[in-house]
Structure 1
């Protein structure tokens, strides 16, 4: 099947241009400027950006990846696809080793099916002082042996591990993760600047939701954030919901790390798209009020109710980033992190035809995944 999308503002890594796109058999085959050479479907001058790639998501539409329930996971993926996320990784939270292994094995089936791009262990190897919405009773010191056993449950689909490198066994566990093909992410950590550098040297290449669950920057004690921002090997995640990170701090991070090292994420939990109320994130009870999720006990921020279309829109309209730069942060940069940028992440000839059509005000109009138009976003949009 062939389709041409005409009269579009096509957003590529090189910029924004008036033009057209041809899609055949689920892939981009031609990208041109000006008037399309054949009749096509007019997009009325709307923006076309690459499908979003979210490397940190816990849930949505009332469903949760940490539950390990496959129907819930399918609902979460469908909900976020309706908001433009055409590639999604399932993030777990701190739990018992048995519960992590069980959820991992069930989610691995959905990775086999191509629904999920991988599994992310956010915990249990994180710092008690920076555990945020993770159950402190279930935290553990890192163990390379334990991790290897957990990875077996994932059958090669565990793609990322968030870890605090300063913990006993942290550096060895980072090295083991990397040797097993798992991305090591420094996060939920109380590391010093020097300890963070040691973690990066051991193999950490991602900063889990930069600025959140990390010591603040200080001019005499720079801490892990300075180490993460200045090292060109590290990609920094940012939750752009206006709650987790002030727009000025996102601008600062983007100016230091650049578009190729800054990845927008949602860190979305089950309440996303569902409205205020009481929900669960792993073993923890969460109260959502005014769209902000906080632990019932203690009040820590507990994930977000963000979707990637809103994160992208905020990046342009509120943070002030150029459209092409925001698109790279929401698509190509996280695709590079996952090592799937040869297939997704940009509107480029030969890649999967994953795209999002946006109106002039950057609100979502339509989503295509592998050449197929998806239905309108599910209820709760």
Structure 2
């Protein structure tokens, strides 16, 4: 019997709020992550962490015996399919008709869709709204962050954006990052704000970059009119990300280079890229991937229409129309997020952009994790994210080697599908 959406959401939520599964082993797999590809691999998991990995049946039998024997350990045959790390999306707004701004039910519903398609961890992006609404939304994400391992915290896309580069953000809610506004947002998030996109050229912009960075938040340069010099100063002041490169910012010009070269030449900066062929055309995507090898993080910017038919939707308070899977504001035709998922972004990278499998997986796993220090042991996730290796979190996907479609998902050792 096919599950209803409500049943799926309830099942996934229960898995995320429960404990890790009993020990298990995935065998007969092709391990693929940022370190490369290993045929004939097996992966052993205990207490939500990868405790061993290897190749060959003799070593596998030894490992199963160590964990308590075949009567206690579940052995899963991958049938020669890929085993990869779970995907990490650091910029997405929702799915399945719900936004992360919609409170606990919206978070649970949208996360279920992304999780079933391989995004085991997500930083929840919140759209520009009146400041008191943004504070309340931050508190909802804080609660989810403490309740379930797949929610990594929040990303504020606004309200400190350039009016001229507002994209699909409500112009009536944009404002300068005064110290009082900055402190209100930090207080509401209470240590769970991971990223904030802002225009550093706004009044108080550089001061805000320094304050957020000092509070452990990663400022992101984006939705801005910053020139090369301003962007470079923002990165020197503590900004560590560029929000969806090419979109909502000055383009490249040979005499007025803008913010993109400032990010590309700075080894401290991770650069987001929406790999859907619509936000950025394939020739520009291929060029962008060469700007900063191992520092490109695939993001989706997915909004509520993700996983849904074309039609009318909302992004914050603004009306959106989705045609052929592409979201635009009804008011002015501006692009209003996407309906992309990372499963598709990885597939596009390999099949359409000519990217190597290990590099494509890295852009959806290790690189976004590294933007927040989640590639190392840390207080938020405990075990590091982004690799299929001993000591890393048991965020694992079994995927089809031909289509790169996700078949099975585990997050922190909890089986989801």
Could you tell me the TM-score, scaled by structure 2's length?
0.87
Tell me how far apart the structure 2 counterparts of residues 271 and 149 of structure 1 sit (CA, whole Å): 30
Q: 2:406 and 2:184 mapped to 1: Cα distance?
A: 42
Question: Quick check: 1:16 aligned with 2:37?
Answer: yes
| 1:86 has 2:120 as partner | yes
- Does residue 258 of structure 1 match 2:287? no
Q: Give, in whole Å, the separation in 1 of the partners of 2:208 and 2:108.
A: 31
Give the whole-Å Cα distance in 1 for the aligned partners of 2:386 and 2:321.
Answer: 34
Contact 2:54 2:60 in 1 (8 A): no
Q: Is the 8 A contact 1:183 1:205 kept in 2?
A: yes
- Aligned length in residues: 373
TM-score of the superposed pair, with normalisation by structure 1: 0.95
Query: In 2, Cα distance between the equivalents of 1:178 and 1:370?
Result: 28
Q: Which residue of 1 aligns with 2:260?
A: 225
- C-alpha distance in structure 2 between counterparts of 1:143 and 1:6, whole Å: 54
Aligned counterpart, 2:167: 132
**Contact 2:195/2:220 (<8 A) preserved:** yes
| C-alpha separation in 2, matches of 1:302 and 1:144 | 29
Aligned mates of 1:360, 1:104 — CA distance in 2: 38
Is the contact made by 1:12 and 1:348 (CA closer than 8 Å) also made in structure 2? Answer: no
Gaps of 5+ in 2: 1-21, 65-74, 377-383
RMSD: 1.2
The equivalent of 2:48 in structure 1 is: 26
**DSSP 3-state at the match of 1:348:** coil
Aligned equivalent of 1:369? 411
- Give, in angstroms, the shift of residue 254 of structure 1: 1.9
Q: Which runs of 5+ in 1 are unaligned?
A: 376-381
Residue 312 of structure 1 corresponds to which residue in structure 2? Answer: 346
Which of 247, 259, 268 is 2:302 aligned to?
268
Return the offset for 1:100: 0.5
Q: Distance in 1 between matches of 2:356 and 2:157?
A: 31
**Per the alignment, in what secondary structure is the counterpart of residue 108 of structure 1?**
helix
CA distance in 1, matches of 2:168, 2:274: 15
Deviation at 1:345, TM superposition (A): 1.2
Q: Which has the larger radius of gyration?
A: 2
CA distance in 1, matches of 2:168, 2:292: 27
2:28 aligned residue:
7
Instruction: Return the match for 1:334 from 365, 368, 382.
Output: 368
Question: Is the Cα–Cα contact under 8 Å of residues 374 and 385 in structure 2 kept in the other structure?
Answer: yes
Deviation, structure 1 residue 311 = 0.8
Contact 2:48 2:394 in 1 (8 A): yes
Q: Please state whether the residue corresponding to 1:204 is helix, strand or coil.
A: coil
4+ residue stretches of structure 1 with deviation over 4 A? none
